Amino acid sequence: MGIRRTGAEYNDMRHIPIAKPSIGTEEIEAVTRVLETGQLAQGETVYQFEQEFSEHFGYTGSAAVANGTAALHVALLAAGVKPGDKVLTTPFTFVATSNAILYCNAVPVFVDVDEASFNISPEAIRKAANDYPEARYLLLVHLFGQSCEMDKIAEIAKEFNLTIIEDCAQAHGATYQSKPVGTFGCGGTFSFYPTKNMSTGEGGMIVSQDTQFLETSKLLINHGSKQRYVHEVLGYNYRMTNISAAIGIEQLKKIDRMNSARRKNAEYYFSNIYNSLVTLPFVHEYSHHVFHQFTITTTHRDQLVSYLSEKGIGTGIHYQLPVHKQMHIKEYLASVKHKQYSCPTAEKLSEQVLSIPVNPELSMEDLEYVVQTINNFSV
């Protein structure tokens, strides 16, 4: 199929954003109904969202929270992470993952990633588990919509007695060997930030197959209270509102269609981008990738970013500074006298990765234009 307009004509008409929430009249009407009831804080709509989320993706239960970072914090606490504990984790992700470890006054031990998948490397996990036998936790991230290699990782975790917590913030609906992310460890967490595969504006979810883990999570989310004004433990105000949950319920009805559109868009890129200056993302044979991001690599990133921007195509760099290089992380690790591993692959990727639009709102005209523009790129 050919381009319907010239590049100049198209560029004058619109900008293709890197991300765009799929919000329609259904979400607006759902929020309006909640507003009309006057019951805005956590209530029946939140409990309905939790139940439907669990049923849709195949979890024993869910606990809705105010945002994805809160979900991570609570999940770590529910897993038993205590001050001073060492938690193996990835340096190549958004900083919230490691911030949650710091919230627990625990120590993130950064483990390098696989260059092809961008996910935490099983071989690097094994090395870290040998080097830090006192480590008892592994907080991994299913990055950009693709699951980590959970068969290998689960085997290593069993061998070294590591409790797995899964950050699934970018992987709604992703599976590994047909098993949903969030079911390989003691619990998993999701984010519903506007750029995610499904959104509630802000919001998050904790999932588990372990009822005790869920009970502990729900206690921590609500000021440590099961009964109003009776507080059993130190908890937090991490509750989701009925307003956010109302959006989430409608988004759940669309998530399969939206993920299918993302995968179809990705397939179009795989079939049509042929510029030798860029490398397309790797998809593991056992992974059902939901393409939160379509992330290419190139040694000419700055030039490509400028070129695509001039052509009206949005891009994102996820992530330009590995977490172990963030200033507050370095200062914290120094304060607890933890010597950080070198993570050369994460550092290399941070200089080469570039995400291009893959969101479900893209038209065929958008896709054709992105492909043609990238294929025409030269240095």
**Average pLDDT, whole number, for the chain?**
95
Q: What is the pLDDT of residue 270?
A: 98
Among 186, 157, 145, smallest CA distance to 60 is for 186
Q: How many helices and strands, by DSSP H and E, does the chain display?
A: 13, 14
Percent of the chain exceeding pLDDT 90 equals: 93
Tell me the three state secondary structure of residue 205: strand
Q: Which residue has the higher pLDDT, 89 or 341?
A: 89
Q: Which residue has the higher pLDDT, 284 or 8?
A: 284
Q: What is the pLDDT of residue 75?
A: 98
Q: Please answer whether residues 90 and 97 qualify as being in contact, where contact means their C-beta atoms are separated by less than 8 angstroms.
A: yes
Whether the per-residue pLDDT at 153 is higher than 70: the answer is yes
pLDDT band at 279 (very low <50, low <70, confident <90, very high): very high
Q: pLDDT tens digits for 168-209?
A: 999 999 999 999 999 999 999 999 999 999 999 999 999 999
Q: What is the pLDDT of residue 14?
A: 67
Q: Which residue has the higher pLDDT, 341 or 291?
A: 291
The alpha carbon torsion through 99, 102, 106, 109 (nearest 10 deg) reads 40
Whether the per-residue pLDDT at 104 is higher than 50: the answer is yes
Among 328, 338, 377, smallest CA distance to 354 is for 377
Q: What is the pLDDT of residue 287?
A: 97
Whether the per-residue pLDDT at 286 is higher than 70: the answer is yes
Q: Which residue has the higher pLDDT, 3 or 91?
A: 91
Whether the per-residue pLDDT at 366 is higher than 60: the answer is yes
Quote the tokens at residue 316: 């994102």
Mean pLDDT across the stretch 45-59?
A: 98
Mean pLDDT across the stretch 342-358?
A: 98
Percent of the chain exceeding pLDDT 70 equals: 96
Q: How far apart are the C-alpha atoms of 295 and 245, rounded to whole Å?
A: 30
DSSP state, residue 145? G
pLDDT band at 5 (very low <50, low <70, confident <90, very high): very low
Among 189, 197, 195, 207, smallest CA distance to 52 is for 207
Tell me: cis bond preceding 229? Omega within 30 of 0 counts: no
Domains of the chain: 25-252 (3.40.640.10)
Q: What is the pLDDT of residue 13?
A: 58
Whether the per-residue pLDDT at 8 is higher than 90: the answer is no
Whether the per-residue pLDDT at 1 is higher than 50: the answer is no
Residue 83: how many other CB atoms lie within 10 Å: 8
As beta bridge partners, residue 188 has 166, 207
Mean pLDDT across the stretch 256-277?
A: 98
Whether the per-residue pLDDT at 2 is higher than 80: the answer is no
Whether the per-residue pLDDT at 283 is higher than 80: the answer is yes
Phi, psi angle pair for 247, to nearest 5°: -65, -45
Phi, psi angle pair for 84, to nearest 5°: 90, -15
Mean pLDDT across the stretch 294-306?
A: 98
pLDDT band at 210 (very low <50, low <70, confident <90, very high): very high
Q: Please answer whether residues 260 and 289 qualify as being in contact, where contact means their C-beta atoms are separated by less than 8 angstroms.
A: no
Q: What is the pLDDT of residue 4?
A: 46
pLDDT band at 25 (very low <50, low <70, confident <90, very high): very high
Whether the per-residue pLDDT at 292 is higher than 50: the answer is yes
Q: pLDDT tens digits for 310-321?
A: 999 999 999 999
Enclosing H/E stretch for 353: strand 353-356
Quote the tokens at residue 282: 């790797």
Q: How far apart are the C-alpha atoms of 329 and 297, rounded to whole Å?
A: 26
Start-end of H helices in 110-210 = 122-131, 150-160
